A = this chain, B = another copy of it.
């Protein structure tokens, strides 16, 4: 190993992001990460206290483990090369693997599911073709000519044409000198690509608040670009029910047009980043909850907004993208994964698909926590699902200083000796609390006995009485970007009690339907934007999640988006999704005898039932 001198630039490479930089000898990996544009989480500001900047050194020499590292990492982890980026200093060119959980929110979304675990077998397949041009002795139509050549060169017969493609085919063939790639979906010819053009797919996770888009090369399954935007339907209502009400009063057209417009812009942006064109997109998979699914397709939602809340359709759909107004390749398709029920949609199916919960051989609980929390318990071959109205508190709504997970939101928080330590999104001045921050705050107050299991707040130097409430000051005015203190109130805690009570009641009912108790759960998989960023200890601490050893919990990020992606590149996965939807035993909680009782009991804070 060559000895490096002080001041000499080393190369530090971060995987799987493919980002790197030159750094002076002796730099910390956290400094190098900032230089390279890798968003590593660091709650303590790089003091070796929070343990959030955990990375794995794959090659190259680094400094020996510090005392802090020995405290926060296990021996096994250290043996595997895991280090805290703020402590480990580069002595050589280094390759570092960054685990998903060590990344900040924004970057995490970009790289999720980069490595897809399924064989690439998309619904749309391309075949290279060269055709003999027509002559006076060969007067076959363009369609017959192409069909005959596909039979001759690729053994594919009985093909038929998408109508919009037919309208363009004569010009496409002549403009590309009778040579290119034929895009087939089953026996339908849906595209003719000039040489060198990619066949693209687009996977969309259509959330009530956020929309995530993933542009994929259909021939390799490779993720090309990814991007998240806000769902513009928000202006018609923050949550599902208010949008359904709007649609029932004013008609659903505006909502449909808004989301289709947003998806078209998203597709443009995703393609633009890769120097690609939207008309190279041949297949789209969209997942969302049942209401988002219906509003996107322009399906009626009245029956979804009134008991007994039934969807217009629950089966998977394959439709021409143009039929809903998506601007992709003229013959391009849109696939929608199946819905399970009015409040358990295709996004939950996609989550199950991506995490493999449906194939689990041990008792596994999968949750997607949000305004509605959908959950499925897999046990002994059964899939039991329900949905609970956990409310908008986890999205920062109905919380005095709550906010969305945007720049300046406190996303992590702990209280040490009456001192509040916190980390904000984007390392900006704090302006409020997003869901994970609220959850941490409640858990810390409960842990320290400042709040009791009924949610009452006892006296404390940071607790002050207001007009009709009490509040705990988290951030002093001088530190705050808000121009005043940032607080959490007794009422905020009540909102969290409602939310966690609903989630916990759902879990309890699924467990009791299966004849299980908490400790029978071998694995708890938590998906979704909110679930990805919460501190499990906090969620367990307040009693939202069962008191299990931490290693039984797994935070999987946007598993719905990952499910959309694997359904995009694999017909087998689409078939599995259909099976999942058929297998699920759906339990309607509003109709469940002991629900009210369970809910009331579950509102108590703390791990003991």
Contact = CB atoms under 8 A, between A and B. Distances in A.
A426 interface: no
B163 A588 contact: no
Interface size class of A (residues with CB under 8 A): 35 or more
Given A135-B308, A300-B171, A164 B323 contact: yes
Interface stretch (A39-47, A309-317, A395-403): A309-317
A299 B140 contact: no
Interface string A315-354: 1011110011000000000000001011000000000000
A310 B140 CA distance: 6
A168 to B, nearest CB: 8
A169 interface: yes
A302 B170 contact: yes
A169 B310 contact: no
A160 to B, nearest CB: 7
Interface in A284-317: 297-300, 302-303, 307-315, 317
Given A312-B141, A312-B142, A167 B299 contact: yes
A586 interface: yes
A161 interface: yes
A318 B163 CA distance: 9
A342 B139 contact: yes
A166 interface: yes
Interface in A394-423: none
B307 A166 contact: no
Contacts of A166: 297, 299, 312-313, 317
A143 B314 contact: yes
Nearest to A137: B591
A1 interface: no
Interface of A: 134-144, 147, 160-161, 163-164, 166-171, 174, 297-300, 302-303, 307-315, 317-320, 323-324, 339, 341-342, 586, 588, 591
Given A135-B308, A160-B318, 19 more contacts: A134-B308, A134-B310, A139-B309, A139-B341, A139-B586, A140-B314, A141-B310, A141-B311, A141-B313, A142-B312, A142-B313, A143-B312, A143-B314, A160-B315, A161-B315, A167-B297, A170-B299, A170-B300, A171-B302
